[in-house]
Amino acid sequence: MNDKPIEILLVEDNPGDARLLRESLAEVDATQFKLTHVERLSDALKRLDEERFDLILLDLFLPDGNGLDIFRQAHAQVPGLPVVILTGLYVEEQFALQAMREGAQDYLVKDHVDGEVLVRAMRYAIERKRAEQRLFQLYEQLKKQAEELEKTRRIEADFTAMLVHNLRSPLATVMSRAGILEDGVVGPVNTEQRKWLVKIETGAGRVLDLIDNFLDLSKIDASRIELVKEEVGLKQLVRNK
């Protein structure tokens, strides 16, 4: 079991509200939490730079700033730290909702907070932030793996293309030379010789077709050729065959 207290930075300029929040934590179990209280944004940013915290309780209206700018500065300095916004009036609640859309984990209306509500909100905020970070890390890992896989597939496709080219060239030469011999360009060809030359041309042509098909399959696998699906009648397919 981890007995280390949860480190909380309370940013609240109203001493009465700060005292009520501290008392609310004491209602549950003060030993579970270590509360550091500052009244100004500048002091909060300094503490965040120097110390480690698990969560920020943040009032949006302070002597040296107000509104969403306060949240944005704190969130920019420690984007991985969960933030729970503290609000008072209805107008402040609208700021809190916008802050949640920009990354805050939750908000609490100070007049409606007791110990259990406060603790539950803080624990949920910490867990949600951890879950977000795990999801982001997983996304980055999958993205990296996908990029590496795509790179590998393209390398394989390039190698296949090179290999196919090296196979095609000699076969094309064989077919060309066999055709020249068959045509009698270099001298008379008897029936038996012509028969074997035709077999050579036919065999080389079939191998070239196989090589071309293999190359097309490798390009499809590397996403360099897009397959277009269309309906074809069986009779037409047989006739074309």
Q: Are residues 108 and 151 in the same domain?
A: no
Q: Is residue 24 part of a domain?
A: yes
pLDDT at residue 127 in the model: 92
* Through-space distance between the first and last CA atoms of the chain, rounded to whole angstroms: 73
Q: Are residues 91 and 11 in the same domain?
A: yes
* 3-state secondary structure labels for all residues of 96-118: HHHHHHCCCCEEEEHHHCCHHHH
pLDDT at residue 38 in the model: 96
pLDDT at residue 222 in the model: 56
Question: At CA 129, angle to CA 127 and CA 131, rounded to 5?
Answer: 70
Q: Are residues 15 and 104 in the same domain?
A: yes
- Percent of the chain at pLDDT above 70? 88
Q: Is the per-residue pLDDT at 224 higher than 60?
A: no
Average the pLDDT over each of 15-24, 75-84, 222-231 and give the range with the smallest value: 222-231
Query: Number of structural domains, the chain?
Result: 2
Averaged pLDDT score across all residues of the chain: 84
Is 167 or 68 the better-scoring residue by pLDDT? 68
- pTM comes to 0.61
164 sits in the region (left: phi over 0; alpha: psi -120 to 50; else beta) called alpha
Task: CATH number of the domain at 56, please.
Answer: 3.40.50.2300
Q: Are residues 88 and 174 in the same domain?
A: no
Q: What is the mean pLDDT of residues 56-75?
A: 92
pLDDT at residue 103 in the model: 92
What is the extent of the structural domain holding 40? Answer: 6-113
**pLDDT, tens digit, 9 for 90 and up, residues 97-133:** 899 999 999 999 888 888 888 999 999 999 999 898 8
pLDDT at residue 1 in the model: 43
Residue 65 bridge partners (DSSP)? 62
CB atoms < 10 A from the CB of 96, how many? 21
Residue 201: pLDDT band (50, 70, 90) is confident
Q: Are residues 106 and 159 in the same domain?
A: no
Domain boundary among 113, 129, 160: 113
Q: Is the per-residue pLDDT at 50 higher than 70?
A: yes
pLDDT at residue 182 in the model: 76
**In the numeric block, which tokens belong to residue 127?**
């867990």
SS3 state of residue 7:
strand
